Structure 1
Amino acid sequence: MFTNWKLILGLAIPSVVSFASATVTGTINLIMVGHMGALVIAIVGVSNIICYNAWALCSGIGNSINYLVAQNYGAGDMKKGIQRTYIALYLCLAVVLLILLAGYAAPGAILRLMGGSEELVAAGTDYLCLRLYAVAATTAGFVFHGFFRGIGDTRTPMVLSLAGNAAMIGFTYVLTYGRFGFPELGLWGAGLAVLLGELVNVIGCMYVYFVRLHRRFGTRARVASDRAEAKLIAAESGKLGMQEVAMSLSMFVFTMFVTRLGTHALAANEVALNVMSFGFMPAFAFGATATILVGQEIGKGQPLEARRMGTDVAVLGSLFLFVLGLAEFVFAGPVARIYTDDPAVYELTAQLIRISAFMQIFDGLLNFYAGGLRGIGDTTFLLRTSFLLSWLVFIPLTYALTFMLDLHSVGSWIALYAFLALFAVSVMLRFYRTDWSAVVIKEAGHG
């Protein structure tokens, strides 16, 4: 086991930095624009929800190419890996055009559909337009990142993410408030800053893929069309995207329930989620590492070694989250006070953090073993389980504990972690009950 830990950490740590930088950037940007007033905060919050769900629907393209390229890389068949990446990019181009069209023609209608007031719609339409354009860029960048991670390169996505997020923060500061000779563009400038940051990332991705990696992999080579491969990638992207949407929409409903508990409960919930996101990021990072290593070992024709790699990632990732959870449990009170000096908010926030501190290990196990299942292409199981548990367990249980049993915010968070625990156990059992000796590389026309 220990012989693999250096390899695992070498892949996981850059991913932790990459994912965490996005969380930190969002927090900093919200702080910077938050001084413009409650209406602006509301616009940014609603836009974040819309854009996250739009990205979730499209994220399957990057996730599918991640595990498919990992398998091809392990098999030494990067000609097929490049072919699949081009097909994914063509599919991504079609999706990007749809997102751009929605950003151009329908941002106001989308805000009205979300229940926004006419004041919010009037002030937020142009901002949401730019944010949707940014989602289009994010989707394209995520496909390239999927390729880089598939070949075992997590440092490049880290560097590009840091560059894009740094640009985003810098442009937000200078364009929102008109610093260093730039015009003061207010909220529109903040939206433009997000778009510019994502474009920095995408341009960097294109340079690395088409220029730096061309000599090694022939990334600028002509690729013949293949309907069977296109069908495979579209199907895998759809399943992984809908899995992400099932969870993102259920979290949206979860937030709606908490909103009904009042301002203090909603504030405590948002702060606690922000704190716990520092646990979610390592979970995502180690999950991505499991996909890479399991996929590559399957490509090498070593399914039992792939199973062992997935187990090693889960063990190391769980230890990582345990240490983090211990720190969160001990310092829950002081951490909560960093965000607010309202006793009603920080006391409830500290309580929620303590509930989550060790239970977030279930979120980790979910991501670790789901990453392993992605590595073998078991995407149908992930989709079905996500939908069933999100909508038949999580949402009803949240409503029952929050309102019917009057447990309020504590009840909602117990429901959240009961859902994550059940999902984690489901994917873990699936992982170990799989007949690994029969697992082979994913091929078009073979399901």
Structure 2
Amino acid sequence: MNKTKDSLLALIRNGSRMTLGEQLRLTVILSIPSIIAQVSAIIMEYIDAAMVGSLGAKASASIGIVATTTWLFWGLVSSSATGFSVQVAHCVGAGHNDDARSVMRQALLAVTCFSVVLAAIGVGLSGVLPVWLGGEEAVCSGATSYFRIFAMSLPLLQLYSLAGGMLRCSGNMLVPGVMGGVMCMLDVVFNFFLIFPTRMLDVAGMTIVVPGAGLGVTGAAIGTAMAEAVAMVVLMWYMLRRSPELSLKGPVGSFRLRAGCLRKALHIGLPMAGERVVLNCAQILTTVIVAPLGTAAIAANAFAITAEALCYMPGYGISEAATALVGQSIGAGRRRLTRSFAYITVGTGMVIMTLMAVVMYVFAPQMMSFFTPDDAVRSLGVTALRTEAFAEPMFAAAIVTYGVFVGAGDTLIPCCMNLLSIWAVRLTLAALLAPTMGLHGVWIAMCVELCFRGVIFLVRLWRGKWVKV
């Protein structure tokens, strides 16, 4: 499969004609490892959440109350990496691997400095953040500890994101995909020993003593950071030593930032970062809307968001493939092929996520039972998931189309579209419906907004102006 992928990618870079079958085959080859990585990640997150959920609703709420803020910081880390990764896709598509290595070296310096500053800000906010978000006193202590450790690990997360993004944009989906799955498995293993205290387990009729640190929510944060560290080291090693397009074998070259590269990174990444800030502020505001509904609603909201991810993670996997394919086609100067890959990837994402939505609707009770034994939390979560299932096809359109636009280096207008959608539609409806319909009203608002977002993204994709960027 790897040889087939390389030969098909070479057709893009060489300017050779590609049949529809070859385009479909390349899309599938690049999408499968990324989809598997995304799905395995969310399955491991299921297990992770179930471990914390077994400690009770308060432990789950401790993580749930700061979840949207962790997404904000993760989005900033991802945006800074994407600003450089898309440049790598364009350079590789044009056959300029030396330029791709130059971009990578500059990126290492720039994003490391950025993540250290971001980590300092996060640590400074950790003590007051749960209070600002309206968390109950019993929840705030665990939430502060969890977020502080998360913030301290941001440089690890930044380098992991950069190495994975650059490898994907160079056409290597397999290594980042495998390491994504490995990281999630390590997270579960570390959490198994860090969350729970030393206990006795019956295994095949034998009673064994399992050591444990008994750190609860704090242990979950430490376990995640340790897993990120291992995955980051492996990806960085592969990128710097083994990648045909990016490795630094021989003369290393300069790491000095150049105005042109930084300007392009800001052109691509800055709108995404701004979008993440405003978008996650909106999600934080959603948390503020949910918080007065009680601990059960906070926990159900967090669990439902995690459960829904199983449905939409394949969309993000295909979106990553779309970014690589469109980016390399743009770099090679092949506009017609660019549009063809855009339509293929978006259509594939919508079909797969529609099937996943059916699964989510049917098995919503079983999915929520996996997370928590609390009947009230389960009931709220099932209603939320079945409401959201109707939005998944259009959510797929928005996710994959956004990846197409990123690959073209066109981020400003799509970011504005996202912001318009969530602020004008989701938050307005959520604020109106939550007082009378509770958590169900919040998720109805989310469903309506995702359908609206998918429509406007499809319209812009069809009009084709993004190809001229």
TM-score category (smaller protein): 0.7 to 0.9
Give the partner amino acid of 2:453.
F
Contact 1:402 1:408 in 2 (8 A): yes
1:192 and 1:262 map into 2 onto residues whose CA distance is 28
- Residue 184 of structure 1 pairs with residue 213 of structure 2: yes
**Do 2:405 and 2:466's aligned partners in 1 also have CA atoms closer than 8 Å?**
no
Q: CA deviation at 1:412?
A: 2.5
1:207-231 CA distances to partner (integer Å, 9 max, x unpaired)? 1011112686546621354112112
Which residue does the alignment assign to 1:442? Answer: none
Task: Render the CA deviation track for 1:204-262: whole Å, top value 9, x for unaligned.
Answer: 11210111126865466213541121122134222112223333332232233234344
SS in structure 2 of the partner of residue 210 of structure 1: helix
More moved, 286-295 vs 6-15:
6-15
* Residue 107 of structure 2 corresponds to residue 91 of structure 1: no
Structure 2 residue aligned with 1:156: 175
In the TM superposition, residue 352 of structure 1 has moved relative to its aligned partner by: 3.3
Unaligned runs of 5+ in 2: 1-19, 199-208
The offset of 1:103, in angstroms, is 5.3
CA distance in 2, matches of 1:186, 1:334: 28
Contact kept, 8 Å, 1:243 with 1:382, in 2: the verdict is: no
In the alignment, which of 95, 103, 107 is matched to residue 126 of structure 2? 107
1:166 aligns with 2:185: yes
Q: Secondary structure at the match of 2:409?
A: coil
- 5+ long unaligned stretches in structure 1: 440-447
Matched residue type, 1:81: A
Indicate the larger mover: 342-351 or 406-415: 342-351
Instruction: Tell me how far apart the structure 2 counterparts of residues 389 and 183 of structure 1 sit (CA, whole Å).
Output: 45
- Counterpart pick for 1:418 among 416, 436, 448: 448
CA drift at 1:37: 4.7
Q: How does 1:13-28 map to 2 (within 5 A)?
A: 13-28=32-47
CA distance in 2, matches of 1:355, 1:69: 40
Alpha-carbon RMSD across the aligned residues, in angstroms, is: 2.9
Contact 1:307 / 1:436 at 8 angstroms: preserved in 2?
Answer: no
* Superposition map of 1:34-49 within 5 A: 34-49=53-68
**Match of residue 352 from structure 2:** 320
Residues 1:114 and 1:257: Cα distance change in structure 2 (over 3 Å): closer
Equivalent residue, structure 1, for 2:252: 221
Aligned-partner Cα distance in 2 for 1:122–1:309:
48
Q: Does 2:103 correspond to 1:72?
A: no
Cα distance in 1 for residues equivalent to 2:452 and 2:140 = 39
The TM-score with structure 1 as length reference comes to 0.87
Q: Does 1:212 align with 2:242?
A: yes
The residue identity in structure 1 corresponding to 2:452 is L
**How far apart are residue 36 of structure 1 and its match?**
4.2
Q: Taking structure 1 as reference, are residues 89 and 234 closer, same or farther at Cα in structure 2, changes over 3 Å only?
A: farther
| 1:443 alignment counterpart | none
Q: Residues 342 and 33 of structure 1: is their aligned pair in 2 closer, same or farther, counting only changes over 3 Å?
A: closer
| 1:336-384 Cα distance to aligned partner (Å, 9 max, x none) | 5555566665555444333322421111000111111111111110222
Which amino acid in the other structure matches residue 211 of structure 1? Answer: R
Following TM superposition, by how much is the alpha carbon of 1:272 offset from its aligned partner in structure 2, in angstroms? Answer: 3.2
CA deviations on 1:53-96 (whole Å, 9 max, x unpaired) are 21112221222233221121111112222222222222211122
Q: Distance in 2 between matches of 1:126 and 1:343?
A: 28
Counterpart mapping for 1:288-367 below 5 A: 288-339=320-371, 346-367=378-399
Q: How far is 1:105 from its partner?
A: 4.8
Cα distance in 2 for partners of 1:124, 1:394 equals 26
Aligned length: 437
Percent identity between matched residues is: 23
- Conserved? CA contact 1:176–1:190, under 8 Å: yes
Alignment of 1:195 onto 2:225? yes
Q: Letter of the 2:459 partner, please give it.
A: L
State the 1:142 CA deviation: 0.4
What amino acid sits opposite 1:70 in the alignment?
Answer: A
The corresponding residue for 2:266 is: 234
SS in 2 for 1:108: coil
- Seen in structure 2, the aligned counterparts of structure 1 residues 71 and 263 have a Cα distance that, compared at 3 Å, is same
Structure 2 residue 463 is the aligned partner of structure 1 residue 433: yes
CA deviation after TM superposition for structure 1 residue 276, in Å:
1.6
Q: Distance in 2 between matches of 1:436 and 1:383?
A: 13
| CA-CA distance at 1:127 after TM superposition | 3.9
What is the alpha-carbon distance in structure 2 between the residues aligned to residue 261 and residue 113 of structure 1? 16
Paired with 1:124 and 1:34, the residues of 2 have a C-alpha distance of 14
Counterpart code for 1:373:
F
Calculate the TM-score normalised by the size of structure 2.
0.83
The answer for the alignment partner of 1:244 in structure 2 is 276
Which region of structure 1 is more displaced relative to structure 2, 358-367 or 318-327?
318-327
